[in-house]
Amino acid sequence: MNKRKIINDPVYGFITISSDLLFDLVEHPYFQRLRRIKQLGLADLVYPGALHTRFHHALGAMHLMGQALRTLQEKGHLIWEPEMEAAQAAILLHDLGHGPFSHVLEKELMPGVAHESITLEMMKQLNREMDGRLDIAIQMFEGVYPRKFFHQMISSQLDMDRMDYLNRDSFYTGVIEGSIGADRLIKMFEISQDQLVIEEKGLLSIENFLHARRLMYWQVYLHKTLLSAQAMLTQILKRARELSAAGENLFSTPDFSLFLKNKFSLSDFEQNPDLLESFNNLDDNDVWASVKGWTKHTDLVLSTLCKDLLDRHLFKISFFDTIPGEEILNPLKEKLLSEGIKQSELSYFLVTGETTNWAYEKEQDPIKVKMKDGALLDIADASDIPTIEALTKIVRKYYVCWGKNVSLRG
Amino acid sequence: MNKRKIINDPVYGFITISSDLLFDLVEHPYFQRLRRIKQLGLADLVYPGALHTRFHHALGAMHLMGQALRTLQEKGHLIWEPEMEAAQAAILLHDLGHGPFSHVLEKELMPGVAHESITLEMMKQLNREMDGRLDIAIQMFEGVYPRKFFHQMISSQLDMDRMDYLNRDSFYTGVIEGSIGADRLIKMFEISQDQLVIEEKGLLSIENFLHARRLMYWQVYLHKTLLSAQAMLTQILKRARELSAAGENLFSTPDFSLFLKNKFSLSDFEQNPDLLESFNNLDDNDVWASVKGWTKHTDLVLSTLCKDLLDRHLFKISFFDTIPGEEILNPLKEKLLSEGIKQSELSYFLVTGETTNWAYEKEQDPIKVKMKDGALLDIADASDIPTIEALTKIVRKYYVCWGKNVSLRG
Amino acid sequence: MNKRKIINDPVYGFITISSDLLFDLVEHPYFQRLRRIKQLGLADLVYPGALHTRFHHALGAMHLMGQALRTLQEKGHLIWEPEMEAAQAAILLHDLGHGPFSHVLEKELMPGVAHESITLEMMKQLNREMDGRLDIAIQMFEGVYPRKFFHQMISSQLDMDRMDYLNRDSFYTGVIEGSIGADRLIKMFEISQDQLVIEEKGLLSIENFLHARRLMYWQVYLHKTLLSAQAMLTQILKRARELSAAGENLFSTPDFSLFLKNKFSLSDFEQNPDLLESFNNLDDNDVWASVKGWTKHTDLVLSTLCKDLLDRHLFKISFFDTIPGEEILNPLKEKLLSEGIKQSELSYFLVTGETTNWAYEKEQDPIKVKMKDGALLDIADASDIPTIEALTKIVRKYYVCWGKNVSLRG
Amino acid sequence: MNKRKIINDPVYGFITISSDLLFDLVEHPYFQRLRRIKQLGLADLVYPGALHTRFHHALGAMHLMGQALRTLQEKGHLIWEPEMEAAQAAILLHDLGHGPFSHVLEKELMPGVAHESITLEMMKQLNREMDGRLDIAIQMFEGVYPRKFFHQMISSQLDMDRMDYLNRDSFYTGVIEGSIGADRLIKMFEISQDQLVIEEKGLLSIENFLHARRLMYWQVYLHKTLLSAQAMLTQILKRARELSAAGENLFSTPDFSLFLKNKFSLSDFEQNPDLLESFNNLDDNDVWASVKGWTKHTDLVLSTLCKDLLDRHLFKISFFDTIPGEEILNPLKEKLLSEGIKQSELSYFLVTGETTNWAYEKEQDPIKVKMKDGALLDIADASDIPTIEALTKIVRKYYVCWGKNVSLRG
C-alpha cells in the first residue's frame, strides 16, 4: 500500500489514512469540497476559533471509527478488514450532502431535501466511479448491512459522527466543559446481540457524554447570538430569492445562482446528474461572496441586512418559555416602523422561531449498557440517580429577533 | 466600564477586552473584516486545522500584550493605564493592512505597497473617526513614542505579534514541536535602558523560542506543498490580470475587480479615501469565489489552474541548494509541452522561486539578555553553546514547481 | 518586594507568590511538610499519576484565589490589598492540619479531632511567630471577618479548595471527564448581598461543575479499589495500635510512635505546643516506612496485611444498596476461617463500610445565581431541567471487603 | 486473554497492558516497588509536580514501544507477536535495578555497581520464576538478540526510555519547552540495515528532540537547586555511614540499615539471592523516614543536614566554567568556620562537583537518517545547519555548594 498518509490534527494528534480506497476518497473533489464548508456555519461570530470544517470533522470521525473497531477486535469480536474499511469509508462520506450553512440554507434553498439523501446520491455516484468498491459502505450507511452495529456506529446516539463533532466543536470553540473524552468512551464500547452497547464501567462516562452534549447545545449550537445571525442570513436568502424571482439581477457565482432561482426536489437530483455537480460546487465562499456583493444592491432591505451581518451588527434576541404573543411583538413592530421600515418589510427585521434541546432520546434509540451479569439495560435504568431521566426531557424555547437601530442604507 | 467582554480562545482560555476603546476597535468594520482573512492563507491544504484568522491572532496578541505589561508592572516598572491601552490598541490593529492571502496577493496586486503602510493609513482613519483616541497607539506603532520599548513589543524579534502567531500557528496546525510557551517567555521580560530584554534565567526559553521559530518555518510557512499551492494561486492571479487587461470579462466581486484591473500605489491610498474602503472589502471569500467562478472560464490556462487548486491537484515541487539551471528546467518544459501546453503558456505551469529561513536576525535587531550583574548581552554571546550562532545563518533554498499530468480542460 | 517567586504548575502553567508574607508562609516548615503528604492518599494504587501533594494543591488554591479576587475587582468590587493577601494566606494554609492519609488515619489515630481544628491551631502558632500578620486571614478562615464572602471563598460549595482539588485531581488521575474549567467558573463569580454568587450566564458551567464533582466521587474518591486499600491500611493501624498497647515493640519513627501509642484530643493540642510539633513531623513516609518495617513482624496478621498492601494484593470488595446481612457475610467468614484465619482475627480481613456521594448540598449551603434582573436564586430553581435537583440526592452505598487467598506468612 | 487492563495516564490518555505476561510482570512485587521510587528523586523541591514514579515511566515506555512497533509493522516490517511482547517486557523492566534517589545513593551506597547490572539480575530471577518466558526479552535487553534494532529501541539515543522520560518529565515539571512530541517522532521511525533510523521527513523533529533534551538537562536534571539538594543528601548518607561504621546506632528500616552498614559489590548480588530481595525492599520511604528520624540524632552534623533538607533550607550553589580554586573555596571555608563548624566537619557543608550536558553523542551511537534516496546519514550530516553539530559539544560546568547561615542545632 503506497498511499498511506498521516494528517496532523490538533484534536487527536495524528489521523492515519489507512488504505488506498480511503486515500482515493479523500482526494476526490466531492470530499475536497468539504474543506470549504465550516462545521458550525456562523458560530465563529460567537466563538472566533470555531472555523473547523466538515473535511476535518469527517477525517476525525474516520479516525475514531478505526479506534473503535480496533477496540472491539481486542475484545474478541471478529471484524474483517473489508468491514473495517467500509465502516471508515461510510463515516468519512457521511456529510458529503451538506451544503454551506447547512440547516440555514437547506430551509430556504432546498426545503424537503434532507442532506442525508444527497449524501446517499453522492456515495452512489462515487461507487459508480469506483466500480463498486463502496458497496458495503453504502449498505452500512443505509442500515441494510447484516451486522447492524455498523450502522449504529455511523448513525445513532453513540455514533462516531457525534463523538467527533462534540469533541471537535468543544475544542475549537474553547468550551472545554463540552469535552467528552471520546477516546475513553470508545474503550467502553461493546457488541451485544449485534448492538453497539456500553460496558457497565462506562456508565459514568456516558452520563458525562450526555451532559456535555446538552451543555454544547445551549452554549454553542443554540447560542442566542448564533441564532440571531442565522435568522439574518435566512432573511437575506429569502429576500434574494424573492428579488431574483422578480427578475432582479443578483451578483452570485453561477452555481449558487442556479439554486437561488430554483427549488429543487430530491427527484431532480436523482434524475439530473449535472445537478449533483452543481451542488458540489457550492460552499461557504459562494454565500459570503454574494452577501458581500449584495451590500451594494439597490434594494435597501437586502443591502442593509448584508452589511449588518458582515459588520456583525446582529439582531437583538430574546428567549421565551411560551410562544411570544402580540404583547411582545407589537412594541417591536412599532419601533421598527418608527425607524422607517415599511410594513411589507417588517418580516425581514422581526423574526420568531423555536429551538429544542434534547440531550437523550430515550424512546427511539436508547443507549444500552451491558451489565456485568450480561444483561442489557437502558442507561436511564442502569444509572443510580435520575440525571439521565432528566436529560430525556425536551427543553423547548421560543425566541424573537429584531433589528436594533436599523437604518436602511440609502 | 460597560463594554467589558470575554472571548473564548482555545489557545489561552479566555481573552478579556479590557477597555471601552478596545471594545470599540474590535466592533469596527475594519477589525471585523479580519474575521474573513485566514492567518495562514492556503496552509490548510497541508494542515487542515490551520483555519484561524487574523481576527483571532490580533486578539491573542492584544491578550499577550496585556500579560506582558502587567508582568513588567509587577517587576516595578511604571506603566500608565493610557500606555497600557495604547499598546494593546496598537497590537490589536497591527494587521489591519493585510489583504487576503497576504504575501501571495501583495506581490501580484499591489507590488510595492507594504501592508504596514496600509495598516498605518487605516489606523489614521480610525483615529480621525475616534477623535484622536489612537494618538499614542499610532506613535507606538510608528516607533516615535518616547519610551522605545513599547515599539519593540509591537515590532521586533520579541514582539507580541510573533509570540502569538508562533503559538497559535503551532496550536492550529498541530505541529506541537513549534510551541513556544509564550506565557513563560513573557514572565522573563524585563526593561533595561528603555529596551525590551530578557532576564538571564530566560536564556534557555529564548533559545527554545528561536529553535521553534526555525522549525515552524520549515514545517509550516515554507512547507513544500504550501509553496506549491501559493505558486498556483499566484499564476491564477497573474493570468486573470492579463486576461482582464486584455478586455476579458472576469467574474468577480466588484471590489476585487477593481484591484484586478489596477495596480495601486501607496499614494493612491493616501489620496483616495474610497480606495481604503474598497481595500477593506477584500477578504478570502473574494478570492475563492473568483477562483470558483473562473473554473468555467473559456481560457483553458485559467480554468485549469483554478480547478486544480480547488481540487487540490497541486504542482509538484522540488528544492535545490543552488539556482536550478537548464538541466533541471528543460526536461520539465519538454514534458509540459508534450502534454499539450503551448510555449507561451509554459510560465503558468513551471514556476521557480527561492525561500529563506532566518531564525535569528542578529545584526539588525539583536535580542538582549540582562545578566544577573546587570550587563546587557546579545543572546548569541550569553548562550553557552553555538546554537544561537547557528540560528543566525540564513538558510536559502530554491524551488521549482510544475504541473503534473496537466490536461487543459476543454 | 524581593521575594516574588514563580512556581511551575502543570495545571495552571505558573503560580506566582505575590507577597513577602505569602513567601514566608510557603518557606515555613509547617507548609513545607505538605510536600510529603499526598493529596489523594492511596489513590495512586488505582491511578498511578495521582501523586500530587497537599503542598501543590494549596499553592493552586492560592493561585485561584488571586484570580477570583482580581475578577471581582474588575467587576467593580472594592477589595483591599490586605484582604487580597489575607484571603490568599488563609486558603494557602487551609490544609495544614491534615495528617498523612488523612481520613484513614484520623479515624484510627485521632478520633474526634477534626483536621480543621488542627489547622486553626497551626495558623494561630504561625500568627504568634509572625507578630499578628495573619490576624485577618484567621478571621476569614473562622468566618468572623465582616465581609462574609471571603469565608465562602475559603470554605463553601464554591470555595477555591474544591475548585483546585477537582481540577487537579482530574488532571493527575487522568480522569479528564472530571475537569471543571476552574478558570471559566471563576470568571462567573459575583458578589451580591455580601455573598459569593454566580452570574446567570455561568449557570451551565455550575451544572457542569456539580456533575463533574459527582463523577469524580464515583470514579476516584470512592473507587472500589481505593476503598479496599484504605480498609487494609485502617486494619493495619488498628492492629499496630493493639499490639503496641499490648506492649509489643513496633518499628516506627519516633513521632509516629507517639501517635500510635496515644489517642490525643483537641485539648491536648491546645495545651501542649510540643504536640503540634510532633504532629508536624508526621507525613506519608512515616506510614510507609512503618508498613515496610512491619512486613517482618512476628505477628502474622500485621505482617500479612502489610506485605499485601505493599505488593498491591488488595482485598476484594463488593457494593450493596442496603446494609449487607448475614447471608453475605457468613460465607465470607467461613471461607476465611477455612484458610486458617482465627475467629479473633476475622475482623482484620473482613471489613464493612458505607459511603455516600452528595454532589450538591442544597439545604445547608445553597449555591446562588444572580439573574440578569438582579434576583438571587438557588441554582436548583434557576436551572431549566431537574438535573440539579437530581444531584441533591444523597447516594449511599454499602461495601464489604475481604481478603482473598489469604495465607498468613509464617 | 483475561488480564487485559487499561491504566489511566495523564500523558498518553490510556496505557493498555496487552498480554498476560505483561500483566503478570506488572503485578510482581519487583515492579510494584517502582511505585515507591520517584523518577526524578529530589526534583520536586524545585518543580512541585515532579512526583511521578519509575512505575509510571516504565508503563509509558512500554506503551511507546507498542506504538513504535505497530508503526514499523504498518511500514511493512515483519515483527512477530513474541518479539512485540518481549520488547515491551524488556522496556517495562529496564529500570528494576534503580534504587531510591538513584544516582545519589548509588554513589554512596553501592559504588561500582551499575543499576543496569541489578536490573539484569532481577530480570533473570523473574525469568526463573516464570519458566523462561523472558528469554527473548533478556536477549534484547543484553543486545544479543539477532535483530539488533530491538536493542536500540531499549537502549540508544532514540530508545523508548528517553522518549518517555523526556516527555513525562516535561509534563510533570511543567517545563513545556522540553516537550518532544514522542508520538510524532515514533511515526518517523524506520528500520534500515537492521538499525533503528529516522525517515528524512523526521529530521526537524529529531533536531527538536535533541534541543529539548539539552534544555531539560539545564532546566531540570542539572538545575542548581536540585544539585544542591542532592549534595546535601549525599553528605547525609556519607555522615550516616561513618557514624554507623563507628558503632553509632542509627534509626532506619532493617533493609536500609543493611546497605548503610555494607558496601556490596555486583558479585555479592550474584552469589546471594537474599541480597536482591533486600535491595527490592528499598524505596524512597526508607530514605525519607531515616532522614526524618535522624533530625533528632545527637550528632549535630547529621541532624542539622537532615533538618535543613526536610525544611528546604538548601545549600547555596554557584557554577563555574573551570575548577574552582582556593580563591573561591577559602573565603567559604572561613565563613563556615566562623559560624562554628569544625575543620573536620567542613567537607559536609562545602561540596564541589562537576556536571556535563551532552545533548547528542555523535561518536558512540550516532542517530541515522534514512534519506529519500535510501542512503543512511548521521543526523549531523543530514541537517542543513550546524545546530546538531553544536549539540554534540559537551558542556561541562563546575559547582560549589555551601551551607548558608548554618547553625548546628544543639
pLDDT digits (tens, 9 = 90+) for B355-396: 988 778 887 789 999 998 999 999 988 887 667 777 888 888
Whether B1 has a pLDDT exceeding 80, the answer reads no
* C-alpha atoms less than 13 angstroms from C-alpha of A86 in its C-beta half-sphere: 22
Would you tell me how many other CB atoms lie within 10 Å of the CB of residue D400?
20
CA distance A11 to A173: 12
ipTM for the whole complex: 0.94
Nearest alpha-carbon partner for D189 in D66, D297, D52: D66
pLDDT tens for residues D374-409? Answer: 999 999 888 876 677 778 888 889 999 999 877 775
CA distance D298 to A270: 95
Q: B409 falls in which pLDDT band (50, 70, 90)?
A: low
Q: Which residue of C has its CA nearest to A167?
A: C177
**Residue A13 at interface with chain D, using a CB cutoff of 8 Å:** yes
User: Is C184's CB within 8 Å of B14's CB?
Assistant: yes
Q: Which residues of chain A have pLDDT under 70?
A: 1-4, 385-386, 409-410
Whether B73 has a pLDDT exceeding 50, the answer reads yes
The answer to whether C354 touches C215, Cβ cutoff 8 Å, is no
Angle at D202 between CA D196 and CA D208, to 5 degrees: 105
Whether C116 has a pLDDT exceeding 80, the answer reads yes
- Report the relative pairing of strands C368-370 and D5-9 from DSSP bridges: unpaired
CA distance C85 to C335: 59
User: Is B181's CB within 8 Å of D181's CB?
Assistant: no
Whether D342 has a pLDDT exceeding 90, the answer reads yes
**Residue C81 at interface with chain B, using a CB cutoff of 8 Å:** no
The answer to whether A357 touches A177, Cβ cutoff 8 Å, is no
Cross-chain CB nearest to A8 (options B11, B175, B285) = B175
Which residues on neighbouring strands pair with residue B84, listed in sequence order? none
Q: C2 falls in which pLDDT band (50, 70, 90)?
A: low
User: Which chain B residues contact residue A253 at CB under 8 A?
Assistant: 251, 289, 292-293
Q: D103 falls in which pLDDT band (50, 70, 90)?
A: confident
Please, what are the domains in chain D? 5-222+359-393 (1.10.3210.10), 224-355 (1.20.1250.30)
Which of D285, D297, D306, D405 is the best residue to mutate to test the C interface, defined by the most C CB atoms within 10 Å of its own CB? D285
Mean pLDDT of chain D: 92
> How confident is the model at residue B389, as a pLDDT?
76
Alpha helices in B317-405 (DSSP H): 326-338, 346-349, 379-382, 387-391
Over its C-alpha atoms, chain D yields an Rg (Å, rounded) of: 23
Q: Which residue of B has its CA nearest to A254?
A: B293
Residue B91: partners with Cβ closer than 8 Å, 6 or more residues away: B58, B61, B62, B65, B153, B154, B159, B160, B161
Whether D41 has a pLDDT exceeding 70, the answer reads yes
Whether D101 has a pLDDT exceeding 70, the answer reads yes
**Residue B128 at interface with chain C, using a CB cutoff of 8 Å:** no
Residue A196: partners with Cβ closer than 8 Å, 6 or more residues away: A149, A152, A153, A156, A158, A189, A190
User: Which chain B residues contact residue C184 at CB under 8 A?
Assistant: 13-14
What are the grid coordinates assigned to B287, written together?
Answer: 478570492
What are the grid coordinates assigned to C109, written together?
Answer: 489515630
> How confident is the model at residue C3, as a pLDDT?
64
CA distance D65 to D71: 10
Q: C273 falls in which pLDDT band (50, 70, 90)?
A: confident
The answer to whether B38 touches A53, Cβ cutoff 8 Å, is no
User: Which chain B residues contact residue A27 at CB under 8 A?
Assistant: 312
Category of A131 on φ-ψ map: left (φ > 0), alpha (ψ -120 to 50) or beta: left
Residue with cell 470521525: A61
Whether C153 has a pLDDT exceeding 70, the answer reads yes
Q: Which of A127-136, A196-205, C240-249, C268-277 has the highest mean pLDDT?
A: A127-136
Q: Which A residues, 169 through 228, put their C-beta within 8 Å of a C-beta on chain D?
A: 183-184, 187
CA distance A408 to A312: 16
Q: Which residue has the higher pLDDT, A392 or B250?
A: B250
Q: C409 falls in which pLDDT band (50, 70, 90)?
A: low
What are the grid coordinates assigned to B317, written together?
Answer: 515541487
CA distance D83 to D88: 8
Which of B206, B211, B218 is the best residue to mutate to test the D interface, defined by the most D CB atoms within 10 Å of its own CB? B211
Mean pLDDT of chain B: 92
Would you tell me how many other CB atoms lie within 10 Å of the CB of residue B409?
12
pLDDT tens for residues A87-114? Answer: 999 999 999 999 999 878 888 888 889 9
> How confident is the model at residue C359, as a pLDDT?
79
Which of B6, B18, B77 is the best residue to mutate to test the C interface, defined by the most C CB atoms within 10 Å of its own CB? B6
Which residues on neighbouring strands pair with residue B395, listed in sequence order? B357
Category of D262 on φ-ψ map: left (φ > 0), alpha (ψ -120 to 50) or beta: beta
Over its C-alpha atoms, chain A yields an Rg (Å, rounded) of: 23
CA distance A135 to A155: 18
**Residue A297 at interface with chain B, using a CB cutoff of 8 Å:** no
Whether D410 has a pLDDT exceeding 80, the answer reads no
- Terminal Cα distance for chain B, rounded: 62
Which whole number is the average pLDDT over B332-346?
93
User: Is C184's CB within 8 Å of B13's CB?
Assistant: yes
User: Is A13's CB within 8 Å of D184's CB?
Assistant: yes
**In Å, what is the CA distance from A349 to each residue of A314, A317, A328, B54, C25?**
11, 11, 15, 31, 61
Which whole number is the average pLDDT over C389-399?
85
Q: D2 falls in which pLDDT band (50, 70, 90)?
A: low
Q: Residue B38 gets which letter from DSSP?
A: B
Q: Which long-range contacts (CB under 8 A, 24 or more apart) does D118-125 make?
A: D118/D269, D118/D276, D118/D279, D119/D93, D119/D94, D119/D95, D121/D97, D121/D269, D121/D270, D121/D276, D122/D30, D122/D93, D122/D96, D122/D97, D122/D276, D122/D280, D123/D90, D123/D93, D123/D96, D125/D30, D125/D273, D125/D276
User: Is C6's CB within 8 Å of B187's CB?
Assistant: yes
pLDDT tens for residues B134-161? Answer: 999 999 999 999 999 999 999 999 999 9
User: Is D14's CB within 8 Å of A183's CB?
Assistant: yes
Cross-chain CB nearest to B390 (options D176, D177, D386) = D386
Q: Residue B273 gets which letter from DSSP?
A: H
CA distance A362 to C187: 35
Q: Which residue of D has its CA nearest to C169?
A: D10
CA distance C410 to D130: 24
Whether D1 has a pLDDT exceeding 50, the answer reads no
**In Å, what is the CA distance from D268 to each residue of C389, D97, D157?**
67, 15, 31
Whether C111 has a pLDDT exceeding 80, the answer reads yes
CA distance B269 to B297: 32
User: Is B13's CB within 8 Å of C74's CB?
Assistant: no
Which whole number is the average pLDDT over C225-241?
96
Cross-chain CB nearest to D390 (options B184, B208, B387) = B387
> How confident is the model at residue B278, as a pLDDT?
95
> How confident is the model at residue A385, as a pLDDT?
64
User: Which chain C residues contact residue B66 at CB under 8 A?
Assistant: none
- Terminal Cα distance for chain A, rounded: 62
pTM equals 0.93
Angle at C23 between CA C20 and CA C24, to 5 degrees: 90
Angle at C64 between CA C63 and CA C65, to 5 degrees: 90
Q: Lowest-pLDDT range, A153-167, B99-113, D225-239?
A: B99-113
Quote the distance between the C-alpha of residue C93 and its chain's center.
Answer: 13
Q: B193 falls in which pLDDT band (50, 70, 90)?
A: very high
User: Is C4's CB within 8 Å of B74's CB?
Assistant: yes
The answer to whether B33 touches B280, Cβ cutoff 8 Å, is yes
